Amino acid sequence: MSLMLDRGEETDSAARTKANIARELNMQIREIGGSLQAGGDPLTFYCECGCMAEVKRTVREYDAAGALAESHVCPDSD
């Protein structure tokens, strides 16, 4: 299944799906990493716009602002 249109643009539905996957993954990273994190070291989360760029955040930073790469915008969720 392709998430891209022939002209190279993602559908809104595909973008929301990828963003939802990133958020689900980040919640698991937060849960597991938060219990293992020592000294507030940053964890690697994934950009919640769905591009999956790595975003370094401490658990506190993630809890406050989520994980969006600079200037990225989260698509509307389903």
What is the DSSP code (8-state) at residue 35?
H
Contacts within 8 Å (CB) and 24+ apart, 29-35: 30/59, 30/62, 30/63, 33/59, 34/59
Lowest mean pLDDT among 13-17, 24-28, 35-39: 35-39
- Residues 40-66 have pLDDT tens digits of 889 999 999 999 999 999 999 999 999
Start-to-end CA span in the chain (Å) = 19
Distance, CA of 42 to CA of 30 (rounded, Å):
11
Q: Would you state the pLDDT for residue 38?
A: 61
Please tell me the pTM assigned to this model: 0.77
